[in-house]
Every structure is written in structure tokens, then in C-alpha cells.
């Protein structure tokens, strides 16, 4: 695992956007796995700026989703499908055909999970998967104690994660309890994992993930098992390393 410490979130976003641009120049139809939350926004802004400036042609890039709330209508502004379309797909000038994600509205949720897990493989696998980290060490929505071999499946959110994500909703009550997430085993199949963490609120989770033992209690520690994992942290998030 490579750990890169950058001065701030903007620098982290720029560094990772350049890594994505380098991938896309080499492989124009790369499958880019994206994460939601506040942390990756500087990456998407920096990447969109490179596309607008003509530094990279991302017109054939494909985008796939890491996780999704269960039960929010697809058009809900906080469904991750809506978030990814708004924050990644549209700013890159792509259309919805370039995007794939799990169906959080399916009647048979586990069948939707299995279908998405298969679809990722059929699409050739994820070339670069972006990840954030939850304050409890989760990646995607793999909460602590998720199996390190898990596949895409339905999970129940912890109270802490629901509270962390309540800022995107009008109240805590509106945050769904259930989600679909790529499993840790699924995530580990991506060719390159890039985790960005910024702010001192992530310092404990980063220290456990990077320097602690590989343990289901800290899902992000699974990155230690991956042959090509990069963890980019700002100085605040690196504070406990």
C-alpha cells in the first residue's frame, strides 16, 4: 500500500484526477468506480476541469457506482444514482449510457445485488476504484464486521453512519436503514484502489486502516491485501499515522 500525504483536499483531488487522466489516456474506455460523500468532490471537479481544458478526452470513459440506498426512488436527489449523475457523469459530459449502478428500487434486492456484481465482471472489471472512508472505517457501505470476502449485497447501516449521512437529508429519520454495497471482495477485484481521506475526523479511521491489523472490524484495512492500493490523505487525516 502506498500512502501519499498532501497538504489539503484540493491537492488530493488534483493528484487523483491526474492519475485518472493518465489511466484514461492509456485506456479511453476505462471503467472508473466512483464513491459518493463529500470527500471525492475535489477529484470530480479537478477531473472535469481537465476535460474542459482538453487535457484528457474522457468521452469513452465508463462510470460505475460503489453503493446505493435501498428504497429511495431513483430520481430522489440523494439516491447515489442521482448523486453520481449530478457530480460525475454530467460534469464529465457523459450520458447515462456510460453509467452503471445497482438498482436500489428492485423488489428482489439480493437479485439486483447479484446482477450488479456479475455486470461489473462482464464489463471487464473496474480499472480504478475511488474510495472514501467512514469514520468507523467502512468502505462503500461495508460496515465494521463485514466479511473481507463479501460480494455485493444488502447491508443495514449503523446509527453512526446514518448520523454521519443525515446532513444530506432533512432529518435523521429520512436516512434509509438499508443499502446495497459492493462487497469488500468485490472492491478488492478492482485493478487499482485509490482511497482519499481528508480532515481530522478521519484520522483515527485512517490510522487503523493503514497501520492496524487487517481486520473485519476495520473494513478499509482490507486495502492492505491489495497489490495496487493508494491511500491519499491530507495532513489532518494523516495526524494519527
Give the span between the Cα atoms of 37 and 39, in whole angstroms. 6
Residue 36 is a binding residue for ligand GLP (CB under 6 A): yes
- CB closer to ligand GLP out of 127 and 137: 137
The least distance separating ligand GLP from the CB of residue 133, rounded to whole angstroms, comes to 6
Is 136 an annotated catalytic residue? yes
The least distance separating ligand GLP from the CB of residue 172, rounded to whole angstroms, comes to 14
- Closest residue by Cα to residue 183 from 155, 150, 134: 150
Is 138 an annotated catalytic residue? yes
SS (H, E, C) 29-61: CCEEEECCCCCCHHHHHHHHHHHHCCCCCCCCC
DSSP string, 62-111: EEEESEEESSS-TTSTTSHHHHHIIIIITTTT--GGGEE---TT-SSHHH
The least distance separating ligand GLP from the CB of residue 221, rounded to whole angstroms, comes to 15
- Closest residue by Cα to residue 38 from 240, 237, 221, 238: 237
Give the span between the Cα atoms of 218 and 102, in whole angstroms. 24
Residue 37 is a binding residue for ligand GLP (CB under 6 A): yes
The least distance separating ligand GLP from the CB of residue 43, rounded to whole angstroms, comes to 11
Give the span between the Cα atoms of 215 and 147, in whole angstroms. 9
Residue choice 39, 79, 105, 221 for contact with ligand GLP (CB under 6 A):
39
Residue 133 is a binding residue for ligand GLP (CB under 6 A): yes
Residue 186 is a binding residue for ligand GLP (CB under 6 A): no
Q: Which of 136, 164, 192, 234 is catalytic?
A: 136
Q: Positive or negative CA dihedral for 217, 221, 224, 226?
A: positive
Residue 66 is a binding residue for ligand GLP (CB under 6 A): yes
Binding mask 156-185 for ligand GLP (x = CB under 6 A): -----x---x--------------------
Q: Which residues bind ligand GLP (CB under 6 A)?
A: 35-39, 66-67, 132-134, 140-141, 161, 165
Catalytic residue numbers read 67, 136, 138, 143
Amino acid at each position: 500500500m502506498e500512502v501519499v500525504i498532501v497538504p489539503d483536499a484540493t491537492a488530493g483531488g488534483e493528484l487523483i484526477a491526474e492519475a485518472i487522466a493518465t489511466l484514461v489516456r492509456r485506456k479511453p474506455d476505462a471503467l472508473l468506480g466512483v464513491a459518493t460523500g463529500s470527500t471525492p468532490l475535489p477529484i470530480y471537479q479537478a477531473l472535469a476541469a481537465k476535460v474542459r481544458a482538453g487535457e484528457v478526452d474522457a468521452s469513452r470513459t465508463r462510470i460505475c457506482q460503489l453503493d446505493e440506498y435501498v428504497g429511495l426512488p431513483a430520481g430522489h436527489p440523494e439516491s447515489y444514482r442521482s448523486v453520481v449523475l449530478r457530480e460525475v457523469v454530467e460534469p464529465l459530459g457523459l450520458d447515462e449510457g456510460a453509467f452503471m449502478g445497482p438498482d436500489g428500487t428492485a423488489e428482489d434486492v439480493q437479485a439486483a445485488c447479484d446482477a450488479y456484481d456479475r455486470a461489473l465482471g462482464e464489463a471487464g472489471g473496474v480499472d480504478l476504484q475511488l474510495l472514501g472512508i467512514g469514520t468507523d472505517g467502512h468502505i462503500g457501505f461495508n460496515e465494521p464486521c463485514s466479511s473481507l470476502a463479501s460480494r455485493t449485497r444488502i447491508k443495514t447501516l449503523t446509527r453512526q453512519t446514518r448520523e454521519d449521512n443525515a446532513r444530506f437529508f432533512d432529518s435523521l429519520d429520512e436516512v434509509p436503514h438499508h443499502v446495497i454495497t459492493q462487497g469488500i471482495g468485490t472492491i478488492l477485484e478492482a485493478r487499482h484502489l485509490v482511497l482519499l481521506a481528508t480532515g481530522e475526523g478521519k484520522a483515527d479511521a485512517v490510522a487503523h486502516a493503514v497501520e492496524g491489523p487487517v481486520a473485519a472490524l476495520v473494513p478499509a484495512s482490507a486495502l492492505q491485501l491489495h497489490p495496487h492500493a493508494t491511500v491519499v490523505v491530507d495532513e489532518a487525516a494523516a495526524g494519527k499515522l
